[in-house]
């Protein structure tokens, strides 16, 4: 029996050796793959058509960053001083900020500040207080702060970001790399003021320092905008349908504006939730450095074939007069549909609005509507919701609820319910008293409701349902309605 046991002990030991050997091989392979990927990925992201081609060309280029920065400053200041009403962008789907800035020197790009408000300048930005880091991307870092008692957002170059870090790895000086990254912020300053729209974040100030960046905050190229709340799936999911309707409407309005920009159709090449913020509930595009202006050039019809992955959706865009006419518009529509509209617009909507909303969703996802038609349909849906026509009432409104004017039950008899816009009470928005009564009638726990004077963006009033009644207290801003027994 002992001789039989030895092979078994030997077999277990061998298994342990083999298992340990496999683990070590796996770890070594992972290290090698990671090192290879890092080198390969760095080569890929370096934009060899712009930055990498200048790497390693000799010490004569070490002053290029200084010269380019001085040119940037002089061109931009000339641009800001040139208050000419007409302007003409010359850019393509993949336009670069250097091309946009050079247009200023050539006189083909001019704009003026259309706002009557005084813009914050470098001195104001130096005095920013309560500065807090919000987030960063490939090139820029974003901070919140306070200037002259006003909460603002500040964008500046992220020195530790991928753009600058990879540029330095390719042999450029920090000043040269900073200059190239700063071009994107300058492009945003220009575009956000020239393409002025309610769904584009508002420019409140900027700073293009005379002195080249040297690590000091006073040499930072900065853009100051209104401060908004960032958007992600976690914030979008619990939103009420009315809030989601507003986001969908705002986005459609922006796409319509981009389709009819006086400078040519604008395309959002980087279409993600992170590119937008909510300012007092209104959706606004905040990151525009990856936008392009003007439909792409084409020589054959094949140049205009549009393919969206991973959905495998294809669209054929006509090649007319050397341009893919409508490609930018179609690209914006499809991306808006898959990132925002399809999952947020139809669900929770009043049943009578479903036909319009499903047509809108189809228009976005199947490109069966252009921007004009989509905005028209969205405006129709919003109008029906605002005016209460979606209720489809055919009989005169009657009520048996007892009304207590200027009365309230603050802090009493609140309860949670489905579809509430509040996590702590049963709260809804209604067109009128009758709609509030209908909601209360469908809820067996409801004894009545308090109607406030607070209104939403559609003008609807906010009501709080109550699961019991008692002697109310006086409140000039609310009315109490008791359900008949």
Last residue in a domain, options 173, 202, 227 = 227
For 365-380, write each residue's pLDDT tens digit: 999 999 999 999 999 9
Residues with Cβ within 8 Å of 347's Cβ and at least 6 positions away in sequence, in order, are 241
Same domain membership, residue 283 and residue 211 = no
**Residue 411, in any domain of the structure:** yes
Residues 241, 349 contacting (CB under 8 angstroms): yes
**Residue 109, in any domain of the structure:** no
Domain CATH number, residue 345: 1.10.510.10
Letter string b/e over residues 83-97, b meaning 16 or more CB atoms within 10 A of that residue's CB = eeeebebbbbbebbb
Same domain membership, residue 292 and residue 196 = no
Residues 429, 460 contacting (CB under 8 angstroms): yes
Same domain membership, residue 386 and residue 249 = yes
Q: H-helix or E-strand containing 286?
A: none
| Candidate from 48-62, 316-330, 364-378, 417-431 with smallest mean pLDDT | 48-62
Residues 141, 157 contacting (CB under 8 angstroms): yes
Last residue in a domain, options 197, 227, 257 = 227
Instruction: Please indicate whether residue 250 is annotated as part of the active site.
Output: no
Domain CATH number, residue 212: 3.30.200.20
Q: How far is residue 99's CA from residue 176's CA, in Å, rounded to a whole number?
A: 17
- Across residues 334-345, what is the average pLDDT? 88
**Residue 209, in any domain of the structure:** yes
**Residue 35, in any domain of the structure:** no
pLDDT at 12: 52
Same domain membership, residue 373 and residue 249 = yes
HSE-up (13 A, CA, CB side) for residue 289: 21
Same domain membership, residue 365 and residue 256 = yes
pLDDT at 117: 65
CB neighbours (10 Å) of residue 10?
10
Same domain membership, residue 271 and residue 127 = no
Domain CATH number, residue 452: 3.50.4.10
HSE-up (13 A, CA, CB side) for residue 4: 1
Last residue in a domain, options 391, 422, 444 = 391
Same domain membership, residue 235 and residue 124 = no
The active-site residue, picked from 66, 270, 303, 443, is 270
Same domain membership, residue 214 and residue 125 = yes
Q: How far is residue 266's CA from residue 187's CA, in Å, rounded to a whole number?
A: 14
| Candidate from 151-155, 338-342, 445-449 with smallest mean pLDDT | 338-342
**Residue 150, in any domain of the structure:** yes
Question: Ramachandran region of residue 301, left (φ > 0), alpha (ψ -120 to 50) or beta?
Answer: alpha
Range of the domain at 448: 402-482
Same domain membership, residue 263 and residue 406 = no
For 135-174, write each residue's pLDDT tens digit: 888 889 999 999 988 999 999 999 888 889 999 999 888 8
Same domain membership, residue 386 and residue 248 = yes
Residues 481, 407 contacting (CB under 8 angstroms): no
**Residue 251, in any domain of the structure:** yes
Number of domains observed in the structure of the chain:
3
Residues 293, 89 contacting (CB under 8 angstroms): yes
**Residue 94, in any domain of the structure:** no
Same domain membership, residue 406 and residue 387 = no
Kindly tell me if the per-residue pLDDT of 115 is higher than 80: no
Same domain membership, residue 199 and residue 250 = no
Average pLDDT, the chain: 80
For 179-222, write each residue's pLDDT tens digit: 888 888 998 998 998 888 999 999 999 998 887 777 777 778 99
**Residue 105, in any domain of the structure:** no
Question: Which residues pair with residue 481 across a beta bridge?
Answer: 403, 449
Question: Ramachandran region of residue 335, left (φ > 0), alpha (ψ -120 to 50) or beta?
Answer: alpha
């Amino acid at each position: 029996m002992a001789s039989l046991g030895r092979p078994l002990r030997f077999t277990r030991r061998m298994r342990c050796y083999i298992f340990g050997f496999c683990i070590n091989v796996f770890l070594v392979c992972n290290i090698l793959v990671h090192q290879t990927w890092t080198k390969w990925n760095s080569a890929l992201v370096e934009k060899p058509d712009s930055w990498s081609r200048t790497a390693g060309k000799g010490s004569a280029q070490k002053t290029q960053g200084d010269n380019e920065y001085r040119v940037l400053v002089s061109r931009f200041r000339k641009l800001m001083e040139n208050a000419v009403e007409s302007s003409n962008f010359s850019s393509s789907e993949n336009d670069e900020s250097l091309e946009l800035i050079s247009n200023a020197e050539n006189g083909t790009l001019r704009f003026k500040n259309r706002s009557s408000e005084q813009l914050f300048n470098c001195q104001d930005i130096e005095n920013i207080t309560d500065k807090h880091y919000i987030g960063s991307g490939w090139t820029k870092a974003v901070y919140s702060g306070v200037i002259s008692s006003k909460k603002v957002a500040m964008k500046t170059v992220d020195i530790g970001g991928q753009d600058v870090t990879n540029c330095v790895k390719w042999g450029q000086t920090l000043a040269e790399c900073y200059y190239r990254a700063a071009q994107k912020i300058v492009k945003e300053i220009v575009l956000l003021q020239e393409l002025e729209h309610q769904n584009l974040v508002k420019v409140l100030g900027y700073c293009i320092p005379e002195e080249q960046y040297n690590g000091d905050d006073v040499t930072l190229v900065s853009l100051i905008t209104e401060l908004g709340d960032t958007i992600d799936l976690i914030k979008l999911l619990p939103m009420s349908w009315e809030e989601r309707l507003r986001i969908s409407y705002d986005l459609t309005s922006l796409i319509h504006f981009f389709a009819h920009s006086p400078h040519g159709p604008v395309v959002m090449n980087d279409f993600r939730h992170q590119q937008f913020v909510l300012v007092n509930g209104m959706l606004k595009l905040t990151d525009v450095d990856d936008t392009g202006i003007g439909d792409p050039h084409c020589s054959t019809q094949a140049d205009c074939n549009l393919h969206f992955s991973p959905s495998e959706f294809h669209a054929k865009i006509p090649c007319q007069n050397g341009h893919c006419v409508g490609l930018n518009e179609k690209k914006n529509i499809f991306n808006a549909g898959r990132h925002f509209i399809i999952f947020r617009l139809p669900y929770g909507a009043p049943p009578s609005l479903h036909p319009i909303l499903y047509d809108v969703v189809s228009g976005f996802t199947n490109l069966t509507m252009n921007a004009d038609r989509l905005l028209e349909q969205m405006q129709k849906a919003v109008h029906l919701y605002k005016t209460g026509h979606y209720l489809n009432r055919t009989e005169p409104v009657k009520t048996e609820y007892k009304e207590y004017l200027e009365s309230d039950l603050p802090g009493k008899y609140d309860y949670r319910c489905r579809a509430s816009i509040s996590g702590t009470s049963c709260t809804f928005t209604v067109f009128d008293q009758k709609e509030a009564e209908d909601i209360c009638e469908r809820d067996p726990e409801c004894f009545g409701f308090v109607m406030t004077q607070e209104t939403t963006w559609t003008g609807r009033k906010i009501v709080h349902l109550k699961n019991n009644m008692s002697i109310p207290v006086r409140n000039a801003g609310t009315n109490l309605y008791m359900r008949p027994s």
